Chains A and B, each alone.
Chain A
Amino acid sequence: MSFSPRARPGRLQRAPEGFLRAHEISAVAAGRRGFLRSAFAAAAGLGLAGVATAQPQGEEAILKPQPWATTLGQPVAAYPYGQPSKYEKNLMRRESPGLTRVSAASVAFSPLQGMFGIITASGLHFERHHQGWEDIDPSQHRLMVNGLVQQESVFTMDELMRLPSVSRIHFIECGANTGMEWGNVAVPTVQYTHGMLSCSEFTGVRLIDVLDHLGYDRRQGRYVLAEGGDGSGMTRTIPMELVESGEVLLAYGMNGEMLRPENGYPLRLVVPGVQGVSWVKWLRRIEVGDLPYATKDETVHYVDLMPDGQLRQYTSIQEAKSVITTPSGGQMLLDKGFYNVSGIAWSGRGKIKRVDVSSDGGRNWRTARLETPVLSKALTRFNIDWVWDGAPAILQSRAIDETGYVQPKINQLRAVRGTRSIYHNNAIQSWQVAAFDGKSGGEVSNVQAY
């Protein structure tokens, strides 16, 4: 490797809770990690499982009766709406300090660093609101369809939920995801670099079916305006070609239950492949028109500034992108040896065809395993085996979609779009792994390498 890893002084290691005794924790605090390695070695093939005691008889976790094995557990429906384990509290939506000034016009990022598979737990779905969120009384919610239709109409939720429904898995990504990293590295973890991204199964009615039912003007009605029922009255223009593809949904369901209020309860637009701002939440109105609408979030925001001072308007499609989530920035590899490198890939133009992974900053690549299902405009999970020799490494992933498009490097993006476009940064992400010398190291940090 021709790069030199950033020198890092030894620092306190996190005490791996739950399997270290007091004297071992103080050993970790003192930076003496050798015992950990010997414990791992003694565990012969158990890898990184919680191995703490070196007693000849065996582990306390096995030899000592545990409270959960020797008491009566809690009854059914102790929590009528279930909650994650109390040990999982570290994984939650978080704001990025300093990104926004007020929390009602802000972002809460999904903790991608701890997520599995392709479906985002509904409680961890990222949030982006422009004027706060509301919990709308569904019996008072209406959808109006007007403009170039034969019959301007109003639907209740009762009515929409009677119509033929479809369920589809799609990703939703904010156009500004990774926007903080156009110029240089700015944030420490994948939660903040890529966490304006989620993927869910959405259930609802195809918008084209409703427009057909109302007799829309196929020749003139080339655009749809979607409008939210919240205070911001969020509006975005959707080209009719997307609606006519049958993919755009009036969705009320998400992951088997109704949408969460933060995600638009009781009705939101689903526009697969397109940036999240077009997935209008708390959807109250669809208008069919013959011109784009140049709304605030199509004219003042969500416009991409190019080096020549031009603002690209109506940039909507999320081009192919991927990121390694384990290991990723702000994490620490506990030892050398085998790791399952895991990540997600997605494209607004269809299915992911292939993902390659590099551990040397992009000089050499290996093709990762794609886990099923591989769906159009949905997250695709990839995994690849990696045996870390403890030397400095730079991990990268590179997605290729079914159109043949190859996810670009950050310098390739900057050469065309500069550093100030804010939106649509789909660059290859680099995670640098610091060398492991038996005492410290293994820390993964966010870098830009090419």
Chain B
Amino acid sequence: MSRLTEAAAWRAMKVCLSGCTALMFAVAPLAQAAGASVAQLGDWKSIGRPATPAEVRAWDIDVRPDFKGLPKGSGTVARGQEIWEAKCATCHGVFGEATHVFTPIAGGVHPEDLQVGHTASLRKPTEARSTVMKLSHVSTLWDYINRAMPWNAPRSLSTDEVYAVTAYVLNLGGILPDDFTLSEANIAEVQKRLPNRDGMSTDHGMWSVKGRPDVHNVACMKDCAGEVKVASVLPEAARPAHGNLAQQNRIIGPVRGVVTVAQAAGTAPAIPSPGAAMLQLANRGACLSCHQIETKVVGPAFREVAAKYKGDARAYTTLSAKVKNGGQGVWGAIPMPPAQSLSDEEVGKLVRWVLEGAPQ
């Protein structure tokens, strides 16, 4: 955002590139760290080129806490709600409460937090943490929605839409009223209402490599701990939760993995079922980010798709094209990106399997 470069400087650079000596680099490196072996700058002059103003505008999209980089625009809570319900609610829930894909966006903020500036429920051990509970800078929210949302179609929102969705998230969080219009003119005032604006600390030793540790141990060698206390053990139920550990360890060496999922001795390892092979394919095609077999996540469950297209003679052709090229609208507004990493043959196999009801 902060640019020293002007068009004139670029023109000078072009001149420079065509033969003059380091005009642009009058401020040469003063000192190199020990062991540096950088060539003279003149040697590098043909390497790299000036960024054009349009290029910098295209990529320099970050917005800082002091709102440097924030483009002009505005959006209402009401408009934000429309966009939210069309493009965001599938993952985040209608009220930003959902946890089935990501951590919750809204919740846990109380009106008095807006006065205090430090979300009280962050002190409660049982409280789940939502985005608005932690958020200390409204710029962070604007920047992230703008750069990365919606998850499967980043940078598809206009500037005004980003303002609107930001306003709606803050409305869900109880920070902005229903009739609010957020813009570059009032965003600094909104910052002053954030419930956790004073809830961050940089008073710790883990930002600088020279920082001081906050937890200390001593290197005692003999008779140190007194009674050794076993404070926590792996719950029996968690033992098989990561699959058969025997199959996660080498078959030779000083140890073996323990058998945590019973398997009759002497039987050969199970041959992967056709369903497992298809799931592997679906995973490689990035399908499983949004689809599961039985449960709707971001997109419909495979079995819902099978049910919808049951008896449809053109289903195979239609779906194959959708998987290959992407699609939108049949199951909601969230678009499905094309499965670029799968071959036509693989797409065909996968679609046939889905239409068969994704048998395991």
Provide the bound-state CA to CA distance between A87 and B256, in Å. 14
Provide the bound-state CA to CA distance between A14 and B245, in Å. 10
Q: A369 at interface (Cβ–Cβ under 8 A)?
A: no
Contact with B along A301-337 (1 / 0, CB 8 A): 0011111111111111101000000110111111000
Contact with B along A7-25 (1 / 0, CB 8 A): 0000111111110001001
- Contact status B51-A152, CB under 8 Å: yes
Provide the bound-state CA to CA distance between A412 and B216, in Å. 7
Give every chain A residue within 8 A of B28 (Cβ-Cβ).
Answer: 215
Provide the bound-state CA to CA distance between A339 and B254, in Å. 7
A151 interface neighbour in B24, B100, B199, Cβ under 8 Å: B24
Given A394-B228, A409-B217: A154 in contact with B51 (beta carbons within 8 A)? yes
User: Which residues of A90-145 are within 8 A (CB) of B?
Assistant: 90-91, 94, 96-98, 101-105, 111, 113-114, 130-132, 135, 144-145
- Contact status A162-B246, CB under 8 Å: no
A294 interface neighbour in B32, B65, B232, Cβ under 8 Å: B65
- Contact status B134-A331, CB under 8 Å: no
- Contact status B62-A191, CB under 8 Å: no
Q: B258 at interface (Cβ–Cβ under 8 A)?
A: yes
Count B-side interface residues using an 8 Å CB cutoff. 131
Choose, from B80-88, B204-212, B306-314, the stretch at the interface. Answer: B204-212
Distance in Å from the Cβ of B294 to the closest Cβ of chain A?
Answer: 15
Count A-side interface residues using an 8 Å CB cutoff. 165
- Nearest opposing residue in chain B for A297, CB measure: B144
Given A3-B230, A289-B2, A310-B199: A317 in contact with B217 (beta carbons within 8 A)? no
Given A144-B59, A360-B228: A96 in contact with B254 (beta carbons within 8 A)? no
Given A146-B51, A315-B207, A406-B219: A16 in contact with B283 (beta carbons within 8 A)? no
- Contact status B231-A448, CB under 8 Å: yes
Given A309-B118, A319-B213: A330 in contact with B51 (beta carbons within 8 A)? no
**Contact residues of A: prevailing secondary structure:** loop
Q: B255 at interface (Cβ–Cβ under 8 A)?
A: yes
Distance in Å from the Cβ of A393 to the closest Cβ of chain B?
Answer: 11
Give every chain A residue within 8 A of B283 (Cβ-Cβ).
Answer: 103
Given A14-B256, A246-B33, A332-B258: A2 in contact with B211 (beta carbons within 8 A)? no
- Contact status A188-B234, CB under 8 Å: yes
User: Which residues of A327-359 are within 8 A (CB) of B?
Assistant: 327, 329-334, 339-340, 348-349, 354, 356
Give every chain B residue within 8 A of A326 (Cβ-Cβ).
Answer: 253-255
Given A313-B136, A450-B229: A416 in contact with B224 (beta carbons within 8 A)? no
- Contact status A445-B140, CB under 8 Å: no
- Nearest opposing residue in chain A for B91, CB measure: A102
- Contact status B242-A96, CB under 8 Å: yes
Q: B265 at interface (Cβ–Cβ under 8 A)?
A: yes
A364 interface neighbour in B206, B223, B235, Cβ under 8 Å: B223
Given A408-B215, A417-B215, A432-B233: A305 in contact with B256 (beta carbons within 8 A)? no
Distance in Å from the Cβ of A383 to the closest Cβ of chain B?
Answer: 12
Provide the bound-state CA to CA distance between A362 and B224, in Å. 7
- Nearest opposing residue in chain B for A88, CB measure: B250
Give every chain A residue within 8 A of B154 (Cβ-Cβ).
Answer: 131, 231-233
Provide the bound-state CA to CA distance between A160 and B131, in Å. 38
Give every chain A residue within 8 A of B214 (Cβ-Cβ).
Answer: 416-417
Give every chain B residue within 8 A of A189 (Cβ-Cβ).
Answer: 242, 245, 248
Give every chain B residue within 8 A of A360 (Cβ-Cβ).
Answer: 228
- Contact status B101-A3, CB under 8 Å: no
The CB with the most chain B CB atoms within 10 A, among A214, A246, A299, is that of: A299
Contact with A along B132-165 (1 / 0, CB 8 A): 0011110110011001100110110000000000
Q: What are 21 of the A-B contact pairs (CB < 8 Å)?
A: A3-B228, A16-B251, A101-B102, A102-B298, A114-B249, A154-B48, A159-B47, A186-B238, A189-B242, A209-B36, A213-B25, A293-B64, A294-B65, A312-B204, A330-B258, A394-B230, A408-B216, A412-B216, A412-B217, A428-B217, A447-B230
